[in-house]
Structure formats: C-alpha cells, structure tokens
Chain A
C-alpha cells in the first residue's frame, strides 16, 4: 500500500533557529500533500495544503512566512519552521493520497515531534 515517510521523527532546536521537516511519498506520486499540527490531547489541525509546483494554501491563522512549505516534486514536500519559538513546539504530521489508484484513503507520515528550547 501507499507509504508516506516523514523525517525527522523528532527534533530539538534552539529558539530563533529554523527546522525543516520532510514528507515523502515512497511508492506513489502526490500532487497534493497536507500538513497538520497536533497539540497534546487535541485533534489534528490542518495547517496548509501543499501543491506540487505551486504555492501552498494556508489555513486561516497560519503564518505562511513562519511555516514555509515547498513541494518541488511529486514525491516530496517540506515544511520549514522559521525562527522557531517555544510555542511552535508541537507534533507535525503530513499526509497524502495515492491519486494514481482507486484508493480513496489518505496515508499519514509517522509525525515529527518538534521541541523548541
């Protein structure tokens, strides 16, 4: 089945630095990928929709200059948290759907735990 690989699985960074998270579709191509954020004991909140070859679509309240998304190929989307602050500490998860099959379900990466100190 469709596999989405997300790296790193966890990262600790200092305030003010930037962190890049990668999301790869391993055995399928995805023109669209989604980035979610999850706070402890809360649901997944959609941050942005990543579109291959074009600008990402951000949800209301998400700072596009802070959360930079690049979808340069059909198998890779990256989320860069710029000038990270402790309040950016969270669990980030990406997802994609194999658009080349009849499967209608979404596959999720294993998530990235970001801790900003």
Chain B
C-alpha cells in the first residue's frame, strides 16, 4: 500500500529564507507527483506537477524535484514571503490509469515578516 510522508509537519521561518519541504513515498511505481497548496478552510491549489520521467519542475520561486528510485521529492521555496504561509501537500498518482491521488499529511508553513 502506497504511503506518503511529509517532513516536517510544521515549519516557521522569517521572511526571505530559502526552505525545503520533503515528501517521501513507499512505492516507486508512480505515474506522477503533484505539489499543492492549501490555505485554511480552502480547497487545493496545484503548484507543480512532475511526471515520473522528469527530475524537476520550476514555477517562479518554486522548484520541485523528484527521485523516483529513492521515493523522494522536495519542494524548494526561494526567498520566502508571508504570503507563502499555508499548508503544502504532496500527492502521488499510481501508474494505473484513473486512480486517485494519495496524499501526505502536509507541511504547515508560517513565514513571519
């Protein structure tokens, strides 16, 4: 059974710091991995999607890497801002078509000004 783990569970940093969020998964037979952002009481906003054949994806100050063989992904946030404060979730999609995403519990990030 696929399990997704995110470390740390919570993180507090001052504005301007670069930070890394970690995600690990037990079964490397994934189709892709997706990082989401969730604000309190809200739905999910997709940040980055990495296909299993890819090593990384970048969007603005965000960079996500994927090492499928070791079952790990990292989300790098450069020059953090208070507006980045949210819960970040990673999710994997298994190789079988039509399957739902399996989520980690998330990392709650707080960026202070």
B85 adjacent to chain A (CB < 8 Å): no
Q: A106 to B46, Cβ gap below 8 A?
A: yes
Q: B49 to A104, Cβ gap below 8 A?
A: yes
Q: A104 to B51, Cβ gap below 8 A?
A: yes
Q: B51 to A108, Cβ gap below 8 A?
A: no
Chain B residues with a Cβ closer than 8 Å to the other chain, count: 24
Q: A108 to B44, Cβ gap below 8 A?
A: yes
Interface size class of A (residues with CB under 8 A): 20 to 34
B78 adjacent to chain A (CB < 8 Å): no
Cα–Cα distance between A54 and B95 once the two chains are bound (Å): 23
Q: Which residues of B contact A106 (CB under 8 A)?
A: 34, 46, 91, 93, 101
B60 adjacent to chain A (CB < 8 Å): no
A-B contact pairs, 17 of them (CB 8 A): A32-B98, A34-B101, A41-B105, A42-B105, A43-B4, A43-B103, A46-B101, A49-B100, A104-B31, A104-B51, A104-B93, A106-B34, A106-B101, A107-B46, A108-B43, A109-B43, A113-B41
A contacts, CB < 8 Å to B: 6, 32, 34, 36, 41-46, 49, 91, 93, 95, 104-111, 113
B contacts, CB < 8 Å to A: 4, 31-32, 34, 36, 41-46, 49, 51, 89, 91, 93, 98, 100-106
Given A41-B105, A105-B32, 12 more contacts at CB 8 Å?
A: A6-B43, A43-B104, A46-B102, A95-B100, A95-B101, A104-B51, A106-B46, A106-B101, A107-B46, A108-B36, A108-B43, A108-B44
